Amino acid sequence: MTKPKALLIDITKCIGCQACVYACKEANNLPETENDEAELSPTAYTVVKEKDEVYYRRLCMHCNDPTCASVCPVKAFEKTPNGPLIYHSKKCIGCRYCIQACPFNVPTYEWKSTKPLVRKCTMCAERQKQGKISACAEACPTGATIFGDRDQLLEEARKRIKENPELYVNHIYGEKEAGGTSVLMLSNVPFETLGFRTDLLEEPLSQLTWKIMSKIPNYVVVSGVLLYGLYWIINRRMELAELEDKSTDSHKSKKTIDQT
């Protein structure tokens, strides 16, 4: 079995050349746009953004236990064992719960289409099947984005922080966020200043709903029995009360007969 793959993005090495963006477009057959897109969109699965001369990437984090896959009512998302979180477009009904729920605000929707689909980074699942690495990692000239086994990349990230503690903030983004992700990031500035949420739970968000959802079968059985029991008891007592009323009535009428 292959080990789960991951991407390690070292923000300190990114020079903002956009090579990953173009490679991504080519690999996924996305149309070229005149200007570089500022935000993720159905035609940009990754973007390079800049804040105070720090360049960083946005893309699907490929969570280990993805929120989108948990909320999708028709199982259109699937986390594959080797890393990529893939989208089965033929299943999608367009409820957009994935976009609403994603803690990283990644999935985008084809709002302009009359047969819209959700679009996001695929971690080049198709290329990986052919034994290639992701297009962005292949194109990156500085090694800011590298591709490899998740456990090895984590080790590499720890090593870089240890060797250069003045440069890096002591945080591997994606190691624990929302239960851990297949995209890992290193930075020289705190992640929240770049707009990454650092207040996410360490347990997968899907646990928050599963705690409730898993109780439903029990609830159905117990409440079914209780409600029927309640109905039966009240019904029975009514019948008895009716009988009682009748017998007292007949008793009374007997008395009146006796009296006459």
Partner 1 sequence: MRLPFKFTFWKGVLVIIWILGLIATIVRFSRGLGASTNLSDQFPWGLWIGFDILCGIGLAAGGFTIAAIVYIFHIKRFYPILRPTILTAFLGYIMMIAGLLFDLGQPWRIWHLLIYWNPHSVLFEVGWCVMLYTTVLALEFSPIAFERLGWGKPREWIRRVTIPLVIAGVILSTLHQSSLGSLYLIMPEKLYPFWYSPNIPFLFFLSAVAAGCAMVIFESHLSFRAFGHRLRLNLLADLGRVMLVTLVVYAILRIQDFSGRGVWAHIFENRTETQLFWLEALVGVIAPVILLSIKRIRLSTKGLYYASVCTITGFMLNRLNVTVTGMQASSGVSYFPSWMEISITLAIIATGFFVFSLAVKYLPVFHYPEANSRPQTVAPAERIAMRK
- Residues in contact with partner 1 by the rule CB under 8 A: 39-41, 67, 69-76, 91-97, 99-101, 103, 105, 107-117, 197, 199-201, 205-206, 208-210, 212-213, 216, 219-220, 223-224, 227-228, 230-231, 234-235, 237-238, 241-242, 245
Min CB(191)–partner 1 separation in Å: 14
Nearer to partner 1, 94 or 141 (CB): 94
Give the nearer residue to partner 1 in terms of CB position, either 118 or 139. Answer: 118
Considering the complex, state which of residue 10 and residue 177 has its C-beta at the smaller distance from partner 1. Answer: 177
CB of 40 to partner 1, least distance (A): 7
CB of 80 to partner 1, least distance (A): 16
SS (H, E, C) the chain: CCCCEEEEEEHHHCCCCCHHHHHHHHHCCCCCCCCCCCCCECCECCEEEEECCEEEEECCCCECCCHHHHHCCCCCEEECCCCCEEECCCCCCCCCHHHHHCCCCCCEECCCCCCCCEECCCCCHHHHHCCCCCHHHHHCCCCCEEEEEHHHHHHHHHHHHHHCCCCCCCCCECCCHHHCECEEEECCCCHHHHCCCCCCCCCCCHHHHHHHHCCHHHHHHHHHHHHHHHHHHHHHHHHHHHHHHHHHHHHHHHHHHHHC
Q: How far is the CB of 172 from partner 1 (least distance, A)?
A: 19
Q: What does the alpha-carbon distance between residue 207 and residue 156 come to, in Å, rounded to a whole number?
A: 30
Shortest distance in whole angstroms from residue 79 CB to partner 1: 12
Lookup: tokens for 182: 């297949």
**Of the two residues 164 and 235, which places its CB atom closer to partner 1 in the complex?**
235
Cβ nearer to partner 1, comparing 67 with 128: 67
Q: Rounded to the nearest whole angstrom, what is the least distance from the CB of residue 107 to partner 1 in the complex? A: 8
Report how far residue 34's alpha carbon sits from residue 55's, in angstroms, rounded to the nearest whole number. Answer: 21
Residue (114 or 170) nearer to partner 1, CB: 114
**CB of residue 105 vs partner 1: minimum separation in angstroms?**
7
One-letter amino acid for residue 42 of the chain: P
CB atoms inside a 10 Å sphere around CB 251: 9
Closer CB to partner 1, 67 or 145, in the complex? 67
